[in-house]
Structure 1
Amino acid sequence: MASAFSPGLSPVHRFFNTQTGVHFYTISETERANVVANFPQFNHEGVAYYASQVAGAGLTPFFRFYVPSKGFHFYTAKESEKDSIIANLAATYTYEGIGYYVLDSDWRGEKLPHTGVTSDQCYKAGSDVLVACSMPETGDLNEQQDGHRAGINAMSYSAVGGRALTSCVQDNITGLIWEGKEANGPRVGSGTYTHLNNGLATDTSGYVAAVNATNLCGFNDWRLPTRQELLNLNAPAVNTTWFPNTAASYYWAAELASTDSTRAWFVNFQSAFSYHDARTNTFSVRLVRGSSASGPRYSYSTVAYGSDGANNVVNDAWTGLQWRRCEQGQVWSGSACSGTVSTFTHELAIAHAQGQGGWRMPNIKELSSAMDLNVSSGANVDSTAFPGVVGNGTWASSPLVGNASHASGVSFFSGVVAYDARSLGHAVRLVRSAPN
């Protein structure tokens, strides 16, 4: 069970039964509302922990029984105990099925899917050609390039309850469930919509309402994805084996531009590119369901690094990553970043990160996850966590597959996720995986 939010998980609510003196747990918002409205003997105590409504990698079913003679529920995550109760105590314990799915011991700390860059797509010094990451020359440049980490949280998907992939698909890393697309019909992959929130059938708002009205895959809580969720699905191209009928197009994200409410963010499913555009434009839509990131995100700790002072590291509970608070070239004083930000070509950035004592360059999904699109002035980051950001362009470790003379990066001031010639100079912000 997760005590804090993790992508794809939902809150499990806890009630105290004042008549029986026992607790009741539910992940269903409908059941929660019904108990609150109709059973005054149950005191709602809030969210107990987080779990998943659907099966997936790293998840274990949590079985639920009801004891009518006592008026309480019994729960177990042990398959053998569930089978024994059904076989020997069925007269007393009524089996109600799987209540939800809880995290098993194999749940990973890092919560972002890998980029899809393969183990054959690494750089060596002096070349813009991508080669096998097993070549010694790639490790000499940097042994933690994006391609070297292809097996960590590799993108993985599964069908939902045996349903067709044109109905819905589960992301096994995030736990989110994505809408499938049809070749024809109301959810045709080539459909495009405005983003005006006017309720019309030609708008994203109308489309969301229409899909929820059909109870697609048994759910009526489909929504527009956040930009980061869309970027997590992109590799930079979507896996069309799992997501057939996908249009190579711009896809609307949920967020509006914080500096201009007439514009909204989109992600290009043809390349690693994201920006905002006029909401009157018609772009593609792919809906998602599952909890989006919420709850406390950042905490701070101290890791020995150069001349940095205390609390020089940002711990991100939403992603399981740790970030250095300052960009390279700056020093953390204990309250601010001082000094001049260094700029590097992409090759020099990779080489620089090699010698930083366990720190590495983030891939493009990791780097984009540090942005806060709600910021309306200055850098698009949490200014407490990352004060004094001055580097406009920041490199990611990810190459632009198909044009390897370019690499991916972000602008923390415009919010754009894009790519640039590797010969240009940009800033570097280091990351590492949080210790378990």
Structure 2
Amino acid sequence: MRRAITGLVLSVVCALVPAVATRAQEPRFLPQGAQVYDRKTGLTWQRCTLGQQWRGERCDGTATPYTWDVARTLYRDGWRLPTMAELETLIDPERKARRVHPNIDTTLFPYPTVVPTQSRPLRFPFYWSSVPTRGCISQSRRGCAYVLDLYSINNTDVDNLPREALAIVRLVKAAPASSPGVDSNSSSNSVAVYGDRFEASGNEVLDRRTGLRWQRCNTGQTWQAGLGCTGVPRYYTYDDAARAAGGGWRLPTKDELMSLVEKGRPLHIDTDAFLDVHKDKATYWTSTPYVGGGRQYFCVNFPFGDSDNCDASGTRALRLVRDQR
């Protein structure tokens, strides 16, 4: 009897193992004709770069280069520009670890064919993200936006380009609000979720890890739905920065501001959640005094991902914080 029961149990286990293994081996990306569904993020991507068409085995035609302002108008039938965080999810970690060039699966997402225009050179093969920034030189003074080279040898070529520059586009369909990097800025009260940590609503970003609420834009700027951070950041002496706080907002401590540092990210901060962190002037005040002579306070330099001591008479950027209500 015992042998019979043991045999029955083994039979059931053996029957279940292949099914479990099959589920475990399910591919992350599911091709669906001209679209690719990402099981991990819930996002659906266009298989071809915009301007090309899927012909069963390849993308025909040439990719169309756009300025950022034109690219932002290409919303249709739920398709939209991806955030930077969403673009980075297309990087295949296994290919990157094995140094396979490029780090994106070209069977799923074929390499684009692009013909630059004679009048305006194309910054190829950068893809536009929906995330604006003012951290670069723009002849039109309209600011810049983040781009990603999906086909570079390291596939981590993050940069920003002037909005009047030309780059190419791969559109994405909106995912559920719980998916990483989903940005639904259709109104000032809409919520954007970035990974499992940050939740943005208007000009505020909630850090679920610490419970703190941060200003999304630099002090001196204003958040506008669909446009991001508008206006020009202000740079303060320490005393002026302390006076700028109010209404529950305050200068962060050194530890609080350093909690936003994420090594390995562009500028060492989540630039989808926190817009307009400048490459050249991205040092922010904290309220923590530096004991070492003179009147100094700690400040955080995001491009270096570290803190330093800053003289109170110097000018620095400001991002205020408040405790969760």
Which TM-score band applies after superposition, normalised by the shorter structure? Answer: 0.3 to 0.5
Using the size of structure 1 for normalisation, the TM-score is 0.30
> What is the TM-score normalised by the length of structure 2?
0.39
